[in-house]
Amino acid sequence: MPDINKAQQERHDRLIEQMRRILGSEICAIFADPAAVEIMLNDNGQVLVERRGVGIIHLTNMPVAKTLNLLALMADYRGTTVNRERPIVEGAMPDEFLRARFAGAIPPLMAQPTFSIRLPARIVYSLEDYRDHGIITAEQYDQLIQAVETRKNIVVSGGTGSGKTTLLNALANHVARIAGMDQRVIIIEDTAEIVCNAPNTVSMLTDPDTKIDMTRLLKLTLRYRPDRIFVGEVRDGSALALLKAWNTGHPGGLATLHANNPRAALVRLDQLCQEAGVPSQTALIHEAVDVVVQITRDTKAAAGRRISDILYFFEQAV
């Protein structure tokens, strides 16, 4: 009887080798660069790389034929196809590529095939790093430390690429410093990006293939005896399940959200809750959310980002 596992491994190894050959040495080297944040291919064939503290630069060019082959390989790895009827490929890349978050598309959605690869955090910055680099002020640092240590629920808000997850990881880093075995941290994400080295931690990932979404995992989480619940990004009706979990004896949570300012973040949370088929949840939001931190890209700032605003819904220590 043939060795099925061996055959599967050989097939996987061939796929990885093909991906590496298509990407080329310059792009593959970016996966080993801890400062790299994102690899982007525009529809003019330019491959751009964003690095923390450096910004976006042009790295190389990629021909259309190679891009189409890469998207086909990613589709095969994800157990799907890419064609005119299904022009989008997205999901985590293989382990050999750090399970980076891949999103790509082909015509007719755009003139030429494109992709964006979001790399996971290899360096976890501390809140002290944020203070020392001028991203947060000394006063904001003290306030965020207090919020984490008194187990307030914190929403990190910002635009695409503003550094929301990196800031959440800095907050989670402080949780890891102070949490003992008696604080069980449950992390829920679509793609593994949150890093928390607390001693009692469980990480869960959604699975579109089995239709296990964030709402389902949040319900499962409550059976895992959580003390703190972290969510990578709130983007749909799962917001309602998260707020209910935070508001029923599980304080000290962290989550990220796309919004342009803290007030807009609260409105967006309400809109997402209503996607679950319920009326406005303003009262629940104000009960469950203690802090909204707004992080903004700012080319004038020394680190390229800054905390532009923080809303507190609790009495801070003087």
CATH code of the domain containing 140: 3.40.50.300
- Which of 118, 137, 163 terminates a domain? The answer is 118
Q: Which domain holds residue 38?
A: 4-118
Same domain, yes or no: 177 and 272: yes
Domains of the chain: total: 2
Same domain, yes or no: 90 and 172: no
Question: What pLDDT, on the 0 to 100 scale, is given for residue 201?
Answer: 97
Question: What pLDDT, on the 0 to 100 scale, is given for residue 4?
Answer: 63
- Which of 118, 145, 168 terminates a domain? The answer is 118
Residue 317 lies in a domain: no
Question: What pLDDT, on the 0 to 100 scale, is given for residue 315?
Answer: 66
The residues of the chain scoring below 50 in pLDDT are 1, 318
Same domain, yes or no: 85 and 148: no
User: What is the pairing mode between strands 201-205 and 305-312?
Assistant: unpaired
Question: What pLDDT, on the 0 to 100 scale, is given for residue 300?
Answer: 79
Same domain, yes or no: 55 and 198: no
Burial 164-201 (b: 16+ CB within 10 A, else e): bbbbbbbbbbbbbeebeeebbbbbbbbbbbbbbebeeb
Residue 318 lies in a domain: no
Same domain, yes or no: 24 and 133: no
Name the pTM for this structure. 0.83
Question: What pLDDT, on the 0 to 100 scale, is given for residue 297?
Answer: 87
Same domain, yes or no: 106 and 137: no
Q: Please work out, in degrees rounded to the nearest 5, the angle formed at the alpha carbon of residue 128 by the alpha carbons of 127 and 130.
A: 60
**Whole-number Å distance between alpha carbons of 96 and 81:** 21
Same domain, yes or no: 166 and 240: yes
**Whole-number Å distance between alpha carbons of 45 and 144:** 42
Question: What pLDDT, on the 0 to 100 scale, is given for residue 91?
Answer: 87
